Amino acid sequence: MKTDEHLVEYHNPKELTDLLSLSLPEKGEGLESAFSCIEQTLAYSVRTGHPYFFNQLFNSVDPAALVGEWVTSAMNASIYTFETAPVFTLMEMLIVKESHRLFGLPLDGDGIFTPGSSIGILMAVIMARNIQFPQTRIEGMRAAPPLVIFVSEDSHYAFTKAAIGTGLGLNACRKVKVDKFGRMSVEALEIAIAEAREKGEVPLMIGATCGTTVYGAIDPLDEIADVAAKHKIWYHVDAAFAGSFCVSDKLRPRLKGIERADSLNWNLHKALGIPLQSSLLLCREAGVLQRSNSTAAAYLFHSNDETAYDVGQKTIQCGRHVDCLKVYLSWKSNGRLGLAESLEGSVAFVQEFYQACLADPAFLLVTDPPESFNCCFYVIPTQLQGVKEEDRDPAFFQALGKATIALREAIRRDGTLFMNYQPQRGSEPFFRLTMHNFLLKSEHVHEIIGIIKAKVAELYPAQV
């Protein structure tokens, strides 16, 4: 897709409602009506495969993986027993094993595809509870002491939802302070654990983050593993985002310590071009998922020589979408080295964009050099670009926050560039570009900056 093509033909909700004339008729209108609807849907939807779609943590799709998704839907298989999905079962088990190898986890460990990392984190909390307090499988939270989990204040909200969903409660998810780079403070973690124990609470899990949603920061995984081992606490790593570094020999050292995790979640759809959704939950110990989740379902699971291959026993789901084929075909097509090359190119692009912002007085960077794929910055309106650093008071940043929202909305409605903004820990909203699109090239850096600066000049013209 060319960069001069728009990402969307924008219409407000009222205009779009009138244009689409959506309806669900009593009498069928035939297959041709479906094709007409598809054309209309494509015409007015966001082109997430565009090189300049930076709004979320996913974007372009690998062609081989896309073919896998088409075939999967055409076959309409459900992967819970070997007898209903024999090839897919073996394929999923192979990918799980190879993923263990890449992360440095034991090759005989456990794992399964999940609908997304939010479900993976929920399952990890359930598993940590059920394995460490087995009676909770039978009696629920009545059989457990007051349990708490520890995550960084920049962690994904999936941990909070998991605390609610498992019955631990919202307040059981303790937010640990981060350093200026957005990484969990190990010292603050130790203090939080001690304070919880003084209250009679029992630490259930430490959840480290490998690629935070906003800054893309990587927690000190090895040091947190030391804390978890010292206190005998389940260690989970949310590697949904930067976990893809595992495929690259060059980038994998940034994940040092992840191999010590009791469990981790990894979204292959975030940086490897796999269609949504494709997410793994990996576990160090063999059999823990089945011990946590299996129940008798004689109409589905039968005792025979295929029982060990009935992966549906490992999950809280019953029917499961097949997510392994698209991963397998992409891996087969590109090879691990090809996937690694793509990732390394994305990381190099982010660094180049960061350096370009650093050199341009119209940009004010929020963080130091990115650890993964995110670059966070303010764009300074024309009239404020001469303000010295020592004179940048709260009013200055309030003006930047307002400009962030105004610029983002104007650019989004133009359809030239999709990027998101985020206030963080009391700051004014700033831009966050997530750049792991394998279509991006070095020359795009200045094009993107040019689009932003042109809109700044339009909305905030220089005073004559």
Going by the DSSP 8-state scheme, the letter that residue 371 receives in this structure is S
Helices (H), 282-386: 288-293, 324-358
pLDDT of residue 299: 61
Task: Report the candidate in 326, 6, 284 with the shortest Cα–Cα distance to residue 127.
Answer: 284
Task: Report the candidate in 59, 23, 58 with the shortest Cα–Cα distance to residue 267.
Answer: 58
Residue 349, SS3 per DSSP: helix
Q: Which two tokens stand for residue 274?
A: 């796999």
Q: Which two tokens stand for residue 177?
A: 């302070």
Q: How many whole angstroms separate alpha carbon 61 and alpha carbon 276?
A: 9
Beta-bridge mates of residue 283: 110, 263
Q: Which two tokens stand for residue 307?
A: 């029982």
Q: Residue 250: phi, psi to the nearest 5?
A: -75, -40
| Residuewise pLDDT in 10s, the chain (464 residues) | 667 788 889 999 999 999 998 999 999 999 989 999 999 999 999 988 888 888 888 888 899 999 999 999 999 999 988 889 899 999 999 999 999 999 999 999 999 999 999 999 999 999 999 999 999 999 999 999 999 999 999 999 999 999 999 999 999 999 999 998 899 999 999 999 999 999 999 999 999 999 999 999 999 999 999 999 999 999 999 999 999 999 999 999 999 999 999 999 999 999 999 999 999 999 999 999 998 988 877 666 667 777 788 788 889 888 899 999 999 999 999 999 999 999 999 999 999 999 999 999 999 999 888 999 999 999 999 889 889 989 999 999 999 999 999 999 999 999 999 999 988 888 899 999 988 887 888 889 999 999 999 999 898 887 54
pLDDT of residue 464: 42
Task: Report the candidate in 446, 57, 344 with the shortest Cα–Cα distance to residue 215.
Answer: 57
Task: Report the candidate in 375, 104, 343, 96 with the shortest Cα–Cα distance to residue 214.
Answer: 375
Task: Report the candidate in 275, 410, 366 with the shortest Cα–Cα distance to residue 419.
Answer: 410
Give the long-range contacts of residues 82-89, CB within 8 A, separation 24 or more.
82/306, 82/309, 82/310, 83/306, 85/322, 88/322, 88/324, 88/325, 89/309, 89/311
pLDDT of residue 82: 85
pLDDT of residue 428: 93
Neighbours of 62 (CB within 10 A): 23
Task: Report the candidate in 421, 425, 83, 126 with the shortest Cα–Cα distance to residue 288.
Answer: 126
pLDDT of residue 461: 85
Q: Which two tokens stand for residue 394?
A: 């709260």
Q: Which two tokens stand for residue 96?
A: 């799980």
Q: What is the 3-state secondary structure (H, E, C) of 72-127?
A: HHHHCCCCCCCCCCHHHHHHHHHHHHHHHHHHCCCCCCEEEEECCHHHHHHHHHHH
**Beta strands 234-238; 263-267: pairing state:** parallel
Residue-range domains of the chain with CATH: 1-62+335-464 (3.90.1150.170), 78-321 (3.40.640.10)
Q: Which two tokens stand for residue 258?
A: 């992840």
pLDDT of residue 1: 62
Residue with tokens 């097509």: 333
Strand order through the sheet with 418-422? 53-54, 418-422, 430-434, 374-379, 363-365
